Amino acid sequence: MKNAIKREQLSSLKLLSGSILGEANIHLEQPKDYHEVENLMREAFWNVYRPGCTEIRRMKKYMKNLLCTLLLLIGGCLTSQAQDVSRFKALNDSVHQTTPEYQTGNKYQKDAILFMDMVADTHPYYVKEERRAEWFAKKQALMERCKSFDTDEAFADALIDVLGPLRDKHTDLTTMKRMQESKQIMKEKDETADVPAPIDMDHIMRRHDSNYDYQLFPDQSICYLQFNQCVNTKDYPFAKFLDDMFAKMDENGIKTLIVDAQYNNGGSSQLCDALLVHLYPVDKMKFFTTYLRFSDLMAAYNPRIAIAKKSWENDGHKNELYQMPAPKIPADFQQPKLFEGHVVFVMGKRTFSSAGMLFTLARDNHIGTVIGTTSTFSPSHYGEVLPYRLPNTGVLGSISCKFFARPDTASVDDKCMEPDVKVNLDDKDASWRYILENYGNK
């Protein structure tokens, strides 16, 4: 895959220069905003939301400014009581207005036409011509279904059906009515059966009421780290927490680190990176490869994207993704002292998003052992949301514009990750006994 764009073409992006929404006042996301933004996103798409999915924070700054802004925008717009849906770009129907199919269609059929075109032009999966042909083969049946709809909710469900497996935490649709109902439903729907509780040394693997904490078991030469959320605690940042934890481990001669992320559904991947640099040399680490798809929807938010898109396609890349630059190690980076003992990662059904990226990087860089359950995340995945509004029905949606490919290219198409050792995590105390018996005193 070609990955070069001429410097003058890339300069047309100029995303560092400010807002992508013209005269709108945009607040660029800061670390202190992470938790609030993710909660907003959860409330907006309560019925499919899996928290976290903030991998964008490890990307190049010019793309980060664009897409962090969009994430804040979609979160704020979708959950505000005074919903300002005008901040979502409505899909442009100008090229369809003169076609008989669009002119004679009802509002659902009109928006179905726009939706089908937008997905084909935006989602990275449909960058290949043969895949777009498969996508448009679904159009006739969808148009027929649209004849009988009498609610926006039925229409949104039909679009979700058409999306099929591409519908995930990033690519989804909702309606105003469903958003207004979401808060009440979220109160009644407890997606996590485990209620956070104070630390109980006798039942250590039960979910703790903290983003992260650790306990030493010197007799077994174990440090147990429960890593529940990739979000910094206000008065104790994760980087400082890790420095203190590894110092205590060194002081006590601890030989095994248990990283229990079975409850971790994501947050900022920077926290995962902070852990990994204590476990593996950064200059030898293999990272995700990130691919971006230029689209008309992205260009609607920033006209400069349209220039880059045209240049990219004119150079023969119409059916290709743009490979983004790999992350670079800062010149002033100092490699922390590496932990030379055994690392055991605990993966559960709720391990997701940034936490899933942590496990993928650990596996692909041969760091430690993974125990627990089969993952619910895909090691390679789509991400980065662009929000949009269907102009005739007002249905709101988001769609991925990037593909994150895992370092292990031979396994890039795997839909899940299998643990090295399967452990039934439903029985927390039995799981801890297994860890003590198999990894203690090593």
Q: Is residue 214 part of a domain?
A: yes
Q: Say yes or no: 84 and 179 in one domain.
A: yes
Model-level pTM? 0.73
Q: Say yes or no: 391 and 417 in one domain.
A: no
Q: Is residue 306 part of a domain?
A: no
Return the closest-CA partner of residue 114 out of 137, 133, 139.
Answer: 139
Asked if residues 29 and 37 have their Cβ atoms less than 8 Å apart, the reply is: yes
Q: Say yes or no: 212 and 134 in one domain.
A: no
Question: Residue 229 is part of a domain; what is its CATH number?
Answer: 3.90.226.10
**Tens digit of pLDDT per residue, the chain (442 long)?**
444 334 333 333 322 222 222 333 334 444 444 444 444 444 444 333 333 333 333 334 444 444 444 444 433 333 333 345 567 899 999 999 999 999 999 999 999 999 999 999 999 999 999 999 999 999 999 999 999 999 999 999 999 999 999 988 789 999 988 888 876 666 565 454 456 667 777 789 999 999 999 999 999 999 999 999 999 999 999 999 999 999 999 999 999 999 999 999 988 989 999 999 999 999 999 999 999 999 999 999 888 888 988 898 899 998 899 999 888 888 898 999 999 999 999 999 999 989 999 999 999 999 999 999 999 999 999 988 899 999 999 999 999 999 999 999 999 999 999 999 999 999 999 999 999 999 998 5
Q: Say yes or no: 350 and 398 in one domain.
A: no
Q: Is residue 271 part of a domain?
A: yes
DSSP state of 314: I
Number of domains within the chain: 2
pLDDT at 77: 38
Q: Is residue 392 part of a domain?
A: yes
Asked if residues 291 and 405 have their Cβ atoms less than 8 Å apart, the reply is: yes
Q: Say yes or no: 11 and 88 in one domain.
A: yes
Q: Say yes or no: 56 and 28 in one domain.
A: yes
Q: Is residue 293 part of a domain?
A: no
Alpha-carbon span 55 to 62, nearest angstrom? 15
Q: Is residue 318 part of a domain?
A: no
Rounded to 5°, angle at Cα 298 from 163 and 328? 100
Q: Is residue 282 part of a domain?
A: yes
Q: Say yes or no: 217 and 347 in one domain.
A: yes
Q: Say yes or no: 79 and 123 in one domain.
A: yes
Q: Is residue 367 part of a domain?
A: yes
Q: Say yes or no: 16 and 30 in one domain.
A: yes
Strand blocks (E) in 327-380: 342-347, 369-372
Q: Say yes or no: 280 and 228 in one domain.
A: yes
Q: Say yes or no: 185 and 130 in one domain.
A: yes
Q: Say yes or no: 211 and 358 in one domain.
A: yes
DSSP-assigned beta bridge partners for residue 213: 226
Domain that holds residue 253: 201-288+335-380+408-439
Alpha-carbon span 144 to 131, nearest angstrom? 22
